[in-house]
């Protein structure tokens, strides 16, 4: 069946979350008097992955997963985590300040989405996360204006890899799921979720095989 639309994941696919987060983490660590290191970064990203997954499964809310990350990471670095939630929130804002200042898309992202549209396909975004933060990322990086339809888990009430999230994306793009290609970096959340509703799926790795860009891999599906 002809591909009439392309859906994209955001973090790790079009938006360089890891690169932005490393800048934010290093700045945060320095503000605490800790020398940035691979060990400290690894602690941060492990905690991020674990607590975000708890949020995805609705065991904790979005703000609490941030607090839990600090409760996990700070003691592992020899620091005491504040007991007060407001103090934890203020501390996490110090990380967010550096993270936001470093927000960036991969160099080919905006042009790629525009090229897909110029090729006659509808383009959409499906991302898990906080609606406000994800929309802010899109505004800051110039991606907001290039999509025909945007789906964010918080506003949809359903998250990847739930098949319903992908069905909502297809409906918003005005196509059947079988007419859509989904591009993402997570084998479970992006690829298995998309294929569960009959979408074609392209797994990308911006920090490995696709570090030079994903345009050729995406356009190969449309020619």
Residue 12: predicted pLDDT = 97
Q: What is the mean pLDDT of residues 73-87?
A: 96
pLDDT digits 0-9 by tens, 36-77 = 999 999 999 999 999 998 998 889 999 999 999 999 999 999
Which letter, b or e, does each residue of 47-58 get, where b requires 16 or more Cβ atoms within 10 Å of its Cβ? bbeebbeebbee
Residue 223: predicted pLDDT = 85
pLDDT for residue 135 is more than 90: yes
Residue 205: predicted pLDDT = 97
Residue 50: predicted pLDDT = 96
Q: Which of 200, 72, 65, 86 is nearest to 129 (CA)?
A: 65
- 126/8 Cα distance (integer angstroms): 6
Residue 115: predicted pLDDT = 97
pLDDT digits 0-9 by tens, 1-32 = 799 999 999 999 999 999 999 999 999 999 99
Q: Tally Cβ neighbours within 10 Å of residue 81.
A: 17
Enumerate residues 6+ apart whose C-beta is below 8 A from 117.
Answer: 123, 146, 148
Residue 77: predicted pLDDT = 95
Share above pLDDT 90 across residues of the chain, in percent, rounded to a whole number: 96
Beta strands across the sheet bearing 200-203: 149-152, 122-127, 5-8, 180-184, 200-203
Q: Which of 178, 165, 151, 163 is nearest to 5 (CA)?
A: 178
Give the domain 5-16+104-219 fold. Answer: Rossmann fold (3.40.50)
Enumerate residues 6+ apart whose C-beta is below 8 A from 85.
Answer: 67
Q: What's the mean pLDDT when you consider all of the chain?
A: 96
- 126/170 Cα distance (integer angstroms): 10
- 22/28 Cα distance (integer angstroms): 10
pLDDT digits 0-9 by tens, 109-120 = 999 999 999 999
Q: What is the mean pLDDT of residues 179-205?
A: 97
Residue 58: predicted pLDDT = 86
Place of tokens 């918003």: 172
């Amino acid at each position: 069946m002809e591909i009439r639309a392309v859906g994209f994941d955001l973090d790790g696919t079009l938006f360089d979350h890891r690169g932005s987060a490393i800048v934010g983490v290093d700045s945060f660590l320095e503000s605490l008097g800790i020398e940035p290191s691979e060990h400290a970064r690894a602690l941060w990203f492990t905690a991020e992955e674990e607590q975000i997954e708890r949020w995805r499964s609705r065991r904790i809310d979005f703000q609490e997963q941030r607090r839990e990350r600090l409760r996990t990471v700070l003691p592992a670095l020899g620091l005491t985590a504040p007991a007060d939630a407001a103090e934890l929130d203020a501390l996490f804002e110090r990380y967010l300040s550096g993270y936001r200042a470093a927000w960036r898309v991969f160099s080919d992202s905006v042009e790629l989405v525009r090229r897909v549209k110029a090729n006659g396909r509808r383009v959409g975004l499906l991302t898990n996360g906080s609606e406000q933060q994800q929309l802010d990322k899109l505004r800051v990086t110039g991606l907001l204006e290039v999509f025909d339809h945007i789906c964010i888990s918080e506003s949809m009430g359903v998250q990847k890899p739930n098949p319903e999230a992908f069905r909502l994306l297809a409906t918003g793009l005005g196509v059947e799921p079988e007419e859509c290609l989904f591009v993402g970096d997570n084998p479970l959340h992006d690829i298995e979720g998309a294929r569960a509703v009959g979408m074609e799926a392209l797994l990308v790795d911006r920090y490995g095989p696709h570090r030079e860009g994903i345009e050729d891999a995406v356009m190969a599906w449309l020619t």
